[in-house]
Amino acid sequence: MSRHSDTAALEVKGLVKDFHSGGLFSRASVRALGGVDLAIRKGEIVALVGESGSGKSTLARCIARLEKPTEGQIRLNGTDVLKRDRFQASREYRSQLQMVFQDPFGSLNPVHRIEHFLTRSLTLHGKAGTPAQLRTRLDELMTTVGLTPDMLNSYPHELSGGQRQRVAIARALAVEPEVILADEPTSMLDVSVRIGILNLMRKLRDEQGISMLYITHDLASARYLADRIAVMFAGELVEEGESLDLMANPAHPYTRLLVSAVPDPARTGSYDPRERAALRAAVMESVSCAFDGDPQQRCSATEPVRHRVGDPANEHWVRCHLYRPPATAASHALSAEPLDALPEDKASA
């Protein structure tokens, strides 16, 4: 999967988002994102997976500039957009980065025809041209997303969920963006049309080189669509790697728990309940993560380092104190912290 080039289209560095919590005068806050680093290359599809509440939508909303990050950088083609447009996203940014939302029933205004949504996008971003050019462009957009141009005259309620999501994608495409953020674009759709939307997203990447961040809780679809998968847990990325490799060799307890929980009739044998209980304990009762808060735990006292997992070509890394590279495989800690400083009993946890 080396269709993409090596330069990052979108890069997020040390992104932190705190939400104010409690009453009006409370100074309490909840850390939704705790320093996220993520890069998407040109023409690459990266899937961001995690459970509800893990912060994946918050990350998308920060990147889309719908939320103001507390700290960190968002770089689009090398430019720090948070510095450039301090208070809200500029139109330039919007034309480079577009979002497709979860609910195609809510994201299209029911009183307008389909034509209106696309025309408005094109006009606002100065891409409408002459009426004839506009007409051609509209037809072209509809064809690209697999709809017929005569549907331009339809109202949203006349279309099925899958068709509506295609309109939402066409609207995002209208401004010729470089990056599309898709936040659970298929979870509200009927199952049989979901795969069609995923195929459309892949086609857009293949044909137009659009980079995508595909946010989902469905690991099977992430594996199907994305080149790389990043796993988010409690506001931090804990593991990232080439999709097939990550799903085949999940290294972080949380990733393993997620993978093991996905129903898969093809799986040979089911997970041993004891192994599952151990995984769950490692994740939920958390001896493994920085947010644990128990000062006695080494895990919470120090930041875990990134370890490379397996073949460097897969760019697979994990951030976990419990990770032990298999003795046979070459594995390197990607930063300088010595591994053997760990007490032995932790190592067997």
Binding site for another protein (CB under 8 A): 51-52, 146, 160, 162-163, 166, 190-196, 199, 217, 219-221, 223-224, 243-244, 247-248, 257-267, 270, 273, 280
Nearer to another protein, 66 or 244 (CB): 244
In whole angstroms, the minimum distance from the beta carbon of 74 to another protein comes to: 27
**How many CB atoms are closer than 10 A to CB 19?**
13
Nearer to another protein, 121 or 165 (CB): 165
Nearer to another protein, 8 or 231 (CB): 231
Nearer to another protein, 58 or 221 (CB): 221
In whole angstroms, the minimum distance from the beta carbon of 86 to another protein comes to: 36
Looking at this protein, which amino acid is placed at residue 205? R
Nearer to another protein, 172 or 257 (CB): 257
In whole angstroms, the minimum distance from the beta carbon of 282 to another protein comes to: 13
Q: Name the burial class of residue 145, with classes exposed (0-12), middle (13-18) and buried (19+) by CB atoms within 10 angstroms of its CB.
A: buried
Nearer to another protein, 262 or 301 (CB): 262
- Rounded Cα distance between 110 and 155, Å, is 7
Looking at this protein, which amino acid is placed at residue 272? D
Handedness of CA 285, 286, 291, 296 (dihedral sign): positive
In whole angstroms, the minimum distance from the beta carbon of 270 to another protein comes to: 6
- Rounded Cα distance between 229 and 314, Å, is 11
- Rounded Cα distance between 32 and 19, Å, is 7
Query: Phi and psi (nearest 5°) for 72?
Result: 110, 180
Running DSSP on this structure, what letter comes out for residue 304? P
End-to-end CA distance of the chain: give it in Å, rounded. 35
In whole angstroms, the minimum distance from the beta carbon of 229 to another protein comes to: 12
Task: Give SS3 for 254.
Answer: helix
Nearer to another protein, 252 or 306 (CB): 252
Residues in the chain: 349
In whole angstroms, the minimum distance from the beta carbon of 295 to another protein comes to: 26
In whole angstroms, the minimum distance from the beta carbon of 316 to another protein comes to: 17
Nearer to another protein, 94 or 256 (CB): 256
In whole angstroms, the minimum distance from the beta carbon of 290 to another protein comes to: 20
Q: Are strands 79-80 and 71-76 parallel, antiparallel or unpaired?
A: antiparallel
Closest CA to 186 of 221, 155, 158: 221
The answer to whether 233 touches 55, Cβ cutoff 8 Å, is no
Contacts of 314 (CB under 8 A, 6+ apart): 241, 242, 245, 246
Alpha carbon of residue 182 to chain centroid: 8
